[in-house]
Chains A and B, each alone.
Chain A
Amino acid sequence: MKKVKRRSYSILLLVFLAITFMVIFLFRLAADGNAWVTFPSNQNVFSGGLLAMGSVYDRNDIPLAETRDGVFRFNDNPEIRRATLHVLGDRRGSIGTGALTFYADKLIGYNLVNGVYSFDGNGGSLTLTVDAELSRVAYLALAGRHGSVVMLNYETGEILTSVSVPTFDPLNPPDVVEGDPRFNGIFLNRGFSSAFVPGSIFKVATAAAALDTFTDAATRQYTCQGVFQVGGSRVTCLGNHGSINMERALGVSCNIYFAQLALDLGGNTLQRYMEQFGLTTAHNVDGIRIAPGNFVAAEANTPALAWSGVGQSENLTNPLSMARFMGAIANGGIPVEPRILESTGSLIPRRNEPVMPVFAANELAMMLRSIVPVYYPGRFPGLSVAGKTGTAEVGQGLGTHAWFAGFLDDSDHPYAFVVLVEHGGGGLAVAGAVANTVLQAAVR
């Protein structure tokens, strides 16, 4: 009997097996439970595959989506619905960076202890940093043209608006046809998840790199004769600017000035600075991964290097990252991490390490501020705008991207912004006009 008894202890292996499995499962539950509950077949949370719980408000407590008495509804205004679609997301989860999808666990009111239990069946709520009304203005300003408007507060990091067109009304989601240009990237928040050829707005980054590298950068002169030969190829400029300094080169957007500056800086230096400026890194906005830009360090004395300093070549820039960089210039070289959640962000914004020296930032800020009334006269009535236009060649016979990036030099409205109109034409006329409309609404 003693033998049989001792052998029977072998059955305890099953107990240890079960304990091991249970521990594994509980760890997984703690780590991934929030993702598991957002499985659209979960009828507690979704109804017919549509999110059926939770409320999302804008910074002024305007409901973007609201669940009351167990009934889910969107904002009543169809323009606001379209304007905020990409930050809010749709109920099917098509827009991965939208709050309804990305923060579904929070909207469901999920936590490990309580599950999705909700006494009133309304789920949890979120307040976003975006301004619904401002977004509506930005959406209307884009007037159906594909593009993006991003604006953030460079002191707090709050993203005030991130509008992306094409968009749709989440109440009546369209049947998206693959390949139809009208739906090109309709599920992408361009400000968050895309990167585009930056064109001349990138000259600001080249200038910032030079200000930190060369002590004489602010006063250094280059000669522009309309055409510049490098490595057997030509860099062309829209004008023949003669001997030109940095401020004027920014104002007239002289390609040859920045091509020569880039050649003097070298590809590796530029690449290092672009990473430092956060233009080629993937930022994290309250958990949402932002698409990084792209900058390739070209060989010395090549046309590729020259064009890369102008914002062409293989350069790609993400609008939100550019807005963050503009904010850093306005902020004495210190970037503030953008955020989209009002409720969970800490009161004190995380102070970053400066990405450029204070004097360089201030010098550059002053230049961007002073070129606006001189070179873009009457474009921004009543606003203390600092900024730079961009008209990016995209090739393939398509029209240029129109950009305007900058910030308000206004302590009451510390906003950095980027406007992009895809294939929109000239930067100033198209993007500048959109920027003005949005900024006028923002300071009102």
Chain B
Amino acid sequence: MDQQLEDMLRALDGAAMEMPVGALENMLHTYTFISRFLLPILAAVIIFRALKSLLRESYEPEVWAYLSLPNGSRMALYHWENTIGRARSSDVVLNYPTLSRSHLALIRDDKARWTAIDLGSKGGVTVNGNSLDGKARVEQGDVLGLGGVEVALLDLDPEERAAQSHYRTKPGRWITPSGTFFFITLFQVLLMLQHVASSFPDVNPQVPTGFLALTGIMWGYFFFIRALRRTGFEIEAIAFFLCSIGLSIIAGIYPDEMMRTVFLIFVGLVIFFVLCWILRDLRWAKRFRWPIALGGVLFLAIGFIYADYQFGARRWIEIAGIMIQPAEFVKVAFIFAGAASLERLFTRRNLFLFIAYAGMCVGILALMNDFGSAAVFFTAFLVIAFLRSGDMATISLALASLVLAAMLVLTIRPHVATRFDTWGNVWADPWGRGMQQALTMSYTASGGFFGLGAGNGSLSRVFAAYTDMVFGVMAEELGLIVAILAVVAIFILGVFAIRSSANARSSFYVIAAGATVTMFMAQVILNVFGSLDVIPFTGITFPFVSRGGSSMIASWAMLAFIKAADTRQNASLAIKLGKKVKGVPISAGDYYDDSADYEEHEDDYYEDDIYDEDEEFAEPLEGGIDSRYFNEKPGVHYNDDSVDPRYFGDHWEDRR
């Protein structure tokens, strides 16, 4: 650091002496020198805000209905899909000896209709005294007999639901999203100026306009989504942060591609939006499941047949002059194919169809020599299979078959075996087989913690470094800290998706989000640690950062699955808001008065979701509500032992 201080003083001294000759260059140098310390700080702030908002803060679960028990107490249903039984793993644990371990499933659909499914219980299920054969609709107030134990289903009426959505903490409560976006904007501006400094005086006009366009798109998205009354932006913030880094890499090597890249980010954002729209309605999501899945594998197959054999793998097909990597898009289809609602998990226990589907995808990818993608798909397959079946035997079988397949691959594809040989020995042949890893490691070390400045790197000029060796490019230009934070960003998404599964509505969303983050994390692990020789090298992209339109669009599309699992109040576009309900006392909003920085206007929560055309919801429910179960005041009516109305503190977590 002394050396740096000395350098800086010398530079300032030099700047003073040499004015005006070279003064501008010296200023630009000095700017880069200073801003290279600011970039990691900003990145850390951005990541910290996302981390705190997504992982540190506690958010209350949604309550969808209650079960009133014979002893007079009530138990809340926190999901659309609930199992009831004696087992501790049931969502509602009823410890009566006549109940089976998993006795009954209670499933709600988008239209607030409840279905009861007998999970093969010994004691049987009755609905209002009539024996249940398989499954049947249940209505508000219906009495379910579970092996002789009678429970009543008490749905929340729209007012109660509105009150609940009022009380539930919205994201942005502690960490304002506009603040995070502001820091990302600063990050983008610093990057852009570093590029100007490094390429001065031959600055490509696309560089500043490209960054500006990205900033514009980001804020446009922000205000558009705010207009839709959503306040959760952490996931998108992470994506925009990573896109900024990706754009910076493009600016350094292909400045003429800046606008094209920004356009691709925009396309990705649009597809993200559309997919969120599909996913917000579980019926739609389920309806689209197989068409998308089949379309995906067909696309992959066509891709395989027509793909050009390039760069050691048949990963690309050319359509109208645009290079497309089918594998990237098939990820979305794969997730659709793998996700399943609870009803399906119980009614179709075997995974045969999905195993066949996964085998087809992984097989085609292996034939295409795209072993990186094959590994990612296989990891996602393992996770989906485990989430769906919970069956270690299936997983073991799958792993065993992988080992066999791997041995087969190693015999018929010697170049794969070569990669394993090179692994750990790259410095034995740094100009040959170990070149990519040796370069990545060398340039990563070059950058130090703070980097050489955006656009000052040399690794990006190495062929394909901007995809497979992108960690080295990030570390060289922006420093190890920013590069590691980019990795951390993806893993924050991963942990958040797992965390939010606790409050998810349907297992469809849990599995989809789980598969998505598995793919993201597996990609990053293979990309980063493969290029750093910690594991064997495979060519694979780093989501949002690697150059390439297919990867960029697919990454955004997959983000929709994470967004769909985000059930925090008003967080996600992929989750419908409740209906506007009159008569909920505004005074109930007093809880937020202490928070000066909270921008949300309380009126917001009662407005209609302008995109929600589902009118059924607003219809008055028949039969009314048994007032015994509620206190007089709306809004505080869940004030009993089972549910804390305001969910203050972390008490609710104990019950999950």
Contact = CB atoms under 8 A, between A and B. Distances in A.
Interface stretch (A104-112, A193-201, A316-324, A336-344): A104-112
A19 B89 CA distance: 30
A14 B525 contact: yes
Nearest to A115: B448
B446 A42 contact: yes
A29 B390 contact: no
B180 interface: no
A9 B10 CA distance: 54
* Candidate in B10, B449, B535 with the most chain A CB atoms within 10 angstroms: B449
A28 to B, nearest CB: 8
B445 interface: yes
Q: Which 7 A-B pairs have the closest CB atoms?
A: A115-B448, A43-B458, A119-B7, A33-B445, A39-B442, A36-B445, A21-B529
Contacts of A37: 442, 445-446
B451 to A, nearest CB: 7
B61 to A, nearest CB: 11
Interface stretch (B281-289, B516-524, B576-584): B516-524
A112 B447 CA distance: 9
Given A12-B498, A15-B494, 10 more contacts: A2-B83, A14-B518, A18-B525, A36-B438, A37-B446, A39-B430, A39-B442, A114-B448, A114-B449, A115-B448
A5 interface: yes
Contacts, number: 170
Contacts of B36: 117
Given A21-B525, A36-B445, A8 B387 contact: yes
Contacts of A1: 78-79, 81-83, 91, 342, 504, 507, 510
A150 to B, nearest CB: 32
B484 interface: yes
Contacts of B11: 119-120
11 contacts: A1-B91, A4-B342, A5-B510, A7-B386, A11-B383, A14-B522, A21-B525, A25-B534, A42-B458, A43-B458, A114-B4
B448 A41 contact: no
B461 interface: yes
A443 to B, nearest CB: 37
B487 interface: yes
A304 interface: no
* Candidate in B8, B342, B441 with the most chain A CB atoms within 10 angstroms: B441
Given A44-B458, A114-B4, A5 B445 contact: no
A118 interface: yes
A44 B494 contact: no
A42 B448 CA distance: 14
Interface in B439-495: 439, 441-453, 457-458, 461, 476, 479-480, 484, 487, 491, 494-495
A71 interface: no
A38 to B, nearest CB: 8
Contacts of A33: 445
A10 B386 contact: yes
B484 A22 contact: yes
B29 A119 contact: yes
A45 interface: yes
A21 B535 CA distance: 8
Nearest to A30: B445
B461 A43 contact: yes
Contacts of A116: 445-446, 448, 452
B438 A39 contact: yes
Nearest to A38: B442
A444 B543 CA distance: 68
B1 to A, nearest CB: 8
B33 A119 contact: yes
Given A29-B445, A117-B36, A120-B10, A3 B390 contact: yes
A7 B461 CA distance: 43
A53 to B, nearest CB: 11
A309 B511 CA distance: 82
B511 A44 contact: no
Interface in B503-546: 504, 507, 510-511, 514, 517-518, 521-522, 524-525, 528-529, 532, 534-535
Contacts of B494: 11-12, 14-15
B90 interface: yes
B82 A11 contact: no
Nearest to B524: A18
Contacts of B7: 118-120
B446 A45 contact: yes
Chain B interface size, as a band, is 35 or more
* Candidate in A42, A111, A120 with the most chain B CB atoms within 10 angstroms: A42
Nearest to A20: B534
B427 to A, nearest CB: 8
Nearest to B490: A18
A3 B91 CA distance: 8
Nearest to B510: A4
B224 interface: no
Contacts of A113: 1, 448-450
Contacts of B130: none
B347 interface: no
B591 interface: no
A24 interface: yes
A41 B463 CA distance: 13
A17 interface: yes
A3 B448 contact: no
Contacts of B10: 119-120
A432 B480 CA distance: 57
Given A15-B494, A17-B525, A5 B502 contact: yes
A425 B140 CA distance: 113
Contacts of A117: 36, 447-448, 450-453
B445 A41 contact: no
Given A41-B431, A41-B438, A114-B3, A8 B501 contact: yes
B90 A4 contact: no
Nearest to A45: B446
A10 B394 CA distance: 15
B450 A44 contact: no
Nearest to B505: A1
A114 B529 CA distance: 22
A25 B532 contact: yes
B461 A4 contact: no
Nearest to B430: A39
A110 B444 CA distance: 12
A25 to B, nearest CB: 5
Contacts of A45: 446
Contacts of A3: 83, 89, 390
Contacts of A17: 525
A29 B3 contact: no
Contacts of A25: 529, 532, 534
A10 B387 CA distance: 9
B341 to A, nearest CB: 10
A18 B442 contact: no
